[in-house]
Structure 1
């Protein structure tokens, strides 16, 4: 059955499911439990994260404390390794001096348990343990651990004396106890780098690390019960930092009692959280009762909301969403053996005029009337949908061939040509239609819609009140436009291929060049020279005309500034004129180039006058006030030329070549041109005759009093150099003399 204004396109839902309140209750309770579970999970996760962050902070503090302790021992060692006395007396091997000033002093001042002085061959010349001087042979007990560090210091000193003087420190096991061992070169105090770094005497300091040291770390960094634990006594899960030297030798662990701020926070907040959860549960129970009462109302409105989501509010017809899903289902179940399926796109021809003249209520009534007529025409299995605005669609199914599709299209066209009674007014609109047939052009919804849209565009371009059935060549035309658009964008970006030629406009003597019209040409890298009739419409359709027009305007103004040419005329699209910034762009360009506005003429078409808004009229007035002349191109080809001429102030009209071609062929042709000239003279307008190709036409135009001539009889469009040559050999009166008066565009705001 056809989708009419009163019928629903989707099945109704049942009025109310009896178990819906219980379903809502179950859903709310389930969501509440889920929320509680998520809350508990998040709280537990947050607790673990806080505790983990605290543990990481403690580990960082302990590790940093050990590193700082090594640096401290090195700074303490600095006291006995830098100075002239220590340098020269150790070089002399003064054991008594080293006993008093190195061994005993480092033990008593800083608690270094062991100290050794090594000569340039790593031979021990002094040894100290627990503040007492001992035999150098005692170094053999620890040399296996210390000598690798000694060699690294000498290597570092050989590579960089300044860096080697800093020495190195490490942790290792000395006498079965974890110890800090540092090695520093003994250098003079005046200029430490004067010594030979690799041969320097070295001082080795050993300081055991005991639990008292670790306890002091805990007090300093507020970490509880810091202690050393051997590897064998360490248990999994304890909070600890391993102690390992540069040789990766694992000495043991620094352990401490772990702080648990996250757990403490949860324990303290638990009573408050429990109370809050109880309050929330009570509120949810109260709200649940209200929700259950509202459930019936919500469910009753569901059908209406669902209907509005898939239907047009004004007509009740299926909307674009429902059309898309219906077409998708129809195509999914359609096969080559089935009857033809066709998609019709319909667009009203003069809907905007109805809205503008009779108002929007009349426009709404027109849309409803069109919907009723379409529903009355289609078959019972077809769908009529409104896509929006004045656009409709028909999905035609179960037809046996192309003839049935065209029969429906003819019926739609006839129906739309019949008058509509709108609020006491009789209105004629008409329609255009594009049709895509699934069995011939497409089997997917998107492709079928695209091709119906292409056919509609073709029908509207061919004139009012027509329909077009898609054929493959239309797709080729679309691809051709896409290719031209793509290449034109590249040409405009790279500024290659596009150039201007100039067709001179002559006085009646056929010698004096009064000006020239700038004409754009495109030397395509593959297609060769393209006519503007091919790419300018594409530029207008695909949104490139403003960019192309700006390029043409700048190019023409820059060229005329270099020529002895009174003025240059540039064609301007109606789309450019409707841009509110167009006037400002033109005046800014003239100001930038310091070009007299009287040397620029802008040519507009009658299409701009058909929709003469206040903004366009103000733009024309501002340009003329600045000194730019406005010419009406192709005059006489539009049905409204005389009607709108008096409403728009222009300086010139250009007689279309179709009228010039009729001169001397019939009295009617001569009469039309004479009438146009008489009208122009009466309105004090300059007239240019286009397309002058024969001597007879020139004589007639001279006789009728036409002041400007343009055409192949006089000159074809010329390159800049050729035009300049023609200007030079033309009459001297043609030479352009700049005005001494200031350009008016400077005063235009």
Structure 2
């Protein structure tokens, strides 16, 4: 008889084996995915930081370059001579047109000692200096810083060789509503003492327009660079705010962000997906083998437990299982009835038709008896041709005799054994206990005494244990050592059952033979 693993056992095995492995697989996937995401995100962030640092350095170097370009024109004796007094034609030709052609700065301004514009060039053409008036406020911080440096002797120190670079002021500013890089430098004669109180100034203005952004992008190795007055907050763009010395944002430089992490992720995801798929397959194979191994162990355990508690021939509970359940039943605070059954004339069938027929008869008897007990009852094969029934639901002798009558009737019906009809009977000994009156051993002893009494009264009947039975049984055992031998013969029927309401304690009721 095969042993099937219960659904609960299967689910338990799955929970014990499969769930931890799945959790481990998910944890590994989450760890690898999390590390990869963290690594690529950091790579992208570092790339933006590098680009931002490079662009900021490039812009600062452009300021220095703009001042360097401006120096060769402002620190020139001819520039001093033609601005003091002011020579408009010379200034326009040299400080305006040629300066524009050499460096391409969109605006050039010459300021007198009172910071009034006396010359203004826009895109290579001289225009009315008063047009600069709206932007003088934006230039004022630079002019103030440079005037302060000159007043503290910075220009004098440079002309005397005390410092390596000429004093100048540089900053971001909005000129005519457009962000620009502005540098301011004094106009001075390197061979003469400067007039620090009335020093004329040269202003170079380079607008941060589309062309400048393209030039900056090529120099900084970034794409789609553009200057904007407000940020677009595009997640695909990196942004660098251009902040002047006063802490005001003049403009935003945006460019297409470099995503080395994304590229790496895009390149590695297929390989990782394949690796994860292979890992999943390997895990699945491992889980399947572990599951099979676990199921085999569980089935083996269940089989061993079943074999330890069940009869191999009938599949019914065996003596060990029955005695354990009997102990539990007698320990409970409830009535219980124990039926000890012994088949009559079984040996004749076994000797006449053979042991296979005897085994089949035992199985058929077990099947018939199983249909008679209640859902809370227990039927067990105790060995050989002996069976026992435990019925917690029976408390009265009338109920016990009723079940015994059904047992005798069921077993007394013919059995078809390989084409042969066989008839047997059954003797039943009954022991009743109410609310822990007797332990398991005592219950079994009483049922055996009642069974012995039933077989002594002609077999194929039922007897309920009474205290007076013990002396009679002992006398009969002394006089008749062969009482268990089968007698040939007459047809077995039920004797009249005790009337309902009869007193169990003073009555010896039985099912006896009748012709």
**TM-score, reference length from structure 2:** 0.48
The structure showing larger relative contact order (alpha-carbon pairs under 8 Å, at least 6 residues apart) is 2
**TM-score, reference length from structure 1:** 0.34
In our comparison, the structure showing a higher alpha carbon Rg is 2
